[in-house]
A and B are shown apart, each in its own frame.
Chain A
């Protein structure tokens, strides 16, 4: 491999490391106090504007949420200081693996492989019939 390329590539990787370090030091992320119900509904409404939310469960420390909307589950996943939302069948969400307080939903997308949310129990005890 070309020596000049290797030097340039190594230097670029070093620059990336320095800039990421600076970004961490600067602490310029969005304030993320954790979701409450109102915020979760607002975020879900951005991605699913016309969807009725029957029930909503906020993950521990507000780091995500799951809403039931008819036969569908609407999932909010915390990604850094932002969120991604996905829709799946309620069946898939309610039967997802739950172990040690962690609900692990396989979303099966390259862009969103899984949603891991912390709950005290799952499926939720207050689940409406």
Chain B
């Protein structure tokens, strides 16, 4: 059976949607900000990501097959319940993958490029990693094959999730109906995720369902009183895709060269992004804490206020 590739099938839709967003923005019918060099970088990163993905696709597929051969159950691809189950399990896996990718520098180095644009439009959705295969976050999906979901089924569900996440990278859509905002990841929720305002740092990791953020204490609603400022804590001063793809890896290498102990080296690589032995840099957690300490209580609704205050134990150390 030929495997269905939702992302590949959706590429023409991606292109048409970007054209539509540009035209609506040009006509003044929708909010859309595009900077040509930024758009080039986003699209080049998307194209490069597809090519880079080919290099590790074989290894990932072989690993999935090997794990599947040792599966615990036989789960049929044709059963509706199986698709419902994998939808939920894959989405929860995505949440933790995404959180790990923000909270630990090794994986942030791979993911950061997706956040480097100071714009938030549909082209930003395509600004994807070139080093995801090397970073090994795909390992997090292997337990699904161990449970018994066929690797093709896992791959299809991952693709569906990625396609879903394309349309939420826009300022053209304000808010969806209340029930939808309560359950699903939306443009509003994901704008918060891409913002560098201290209040918004490391919030809303969801893929399709926002319920995971609500469950695990990382939800933050978008506030009209605080417009999103997009980008990373230290914005990049370049549009060069190579620099965008590898800058954090290079920074890790540089830090490792000056590490004074194994512990320091370990924390430079696997600590929170922004960690430094002398505290000369700040993690997202520290930025949020400093911001919270200087805050005058906002006239927010109790629900908004509750979602605003950093919670003890809810780590939030990574930039944007």
A20, A24, A114: most-surrounded residue (chain B CB, <10 A) = A20
Report the minimal beta-carbon distance from B30 to chain A, rounded to whole angstroms.
Answer: 10
Cβ-neighbour of A85 out of B18, B26, B35, B235 (below 8 A):
B235
| Contact-residue bracket for chain A | 35 or more
A28 contacts chain B at the CB level, 8 A cutoff: yes
| Contact digits for A106-118, partner B, Cβ 8 Å, 1 yes 0 no | 0101111111000
Chain A residues with CB below 8 A from B19, complex form: 19, 22
Contact B38 A80 (CB under 8 A): yes
List residues of chain B with CB within 8 A of the CB of A13: 47
Distance in angstroms from B27 CB to nearest chain A CB is 9
Chain B residues near A28: list those with CB within 8 A. 22, 25-26, 32-35
B37 within 8 A of A: yes
Whole-angstrom distance between the Cβ of A42 and the nearest chain B Cβ: 11
Interface members, chain A 9-51 (any B CB < 8 Å):
9, 12-13, 15-16, 19-20, 22-30, 46-47, 49-50
User: Given A16-B47, A83-B235, A110-B247: A26 and B34 within 8 A (CB)?
Assistant: yes
Contact A22 B33 (CB under 8 A): no
- Tell yes or no: A71 within 8 A of B by CB: no
B56 lies within 8 A of chain A by Cβ: no
- Known interface pairs A28-B32, A112-B238; A15-B15 also in contact (CB < 8 Å): yes
Q: Do B22 and A79 have beta carbons less than 8 Å apart?
A: no
Chain B positions within 8 Å of A47 at CB level: 234
Complexed CA–CA distance, A107 and B247 (Å):
13
Distance of A38 Cα from B281 Cα, bound (Å): 26
In the bound complex, how far is the Cα of B168 from the Cα of A29, in angstroms?
A: 20
Are the C-beta atoms of B237 and A111 separated by less than 8 Å? yes
Among A22, A24, A29, A112, which residue has its beta carbon within 8 angstroms of that of B237? A112
How far, in angstroms, from A27 to B28 measured CA to CA in the complex? 11
Residues of B within 8 A of A115 (CB): 237
Q: Judging by beta carbons under 8 Å apart, are B234 and A84 in contact?
A: yes
Q: Which B1-28 residues have a C-beta within 8 angstroms of A?
A: 11, 15, 18-19, 22-23, 25-26
Cβ-based interface call for B83 (8 A): no
Contact of B43 (CB < 8 Å), options: A20, A26, A86: A20
A82 part of interface (Cβ distance < 8 Å): yes
- Beta-carbon contacts of B223-267 to A below 8 Å, as 1s and 0s? 000000101001111110001001110110000000000000000
Q: 3 tightest A-B contacts by CB?
A: A112-B237, A82-B118, A111-B247
Interface residues of A (CB under 8 A from B): 9, 12-13, 15-16, 19-20, 22-30, 46-47, 49-50, 77, 79-86, 107, 109-115
Seen from chain B, the residues whose Cβ lies within 8 Å of a Cβ on chain A are 11, 15, 18-19, 22-23, 25-26, 32-40, 43-44, 47, 50-51, 118-119, 123, 229, 231, 234-239, 243, 246-248, 250-251, 290-291, 294
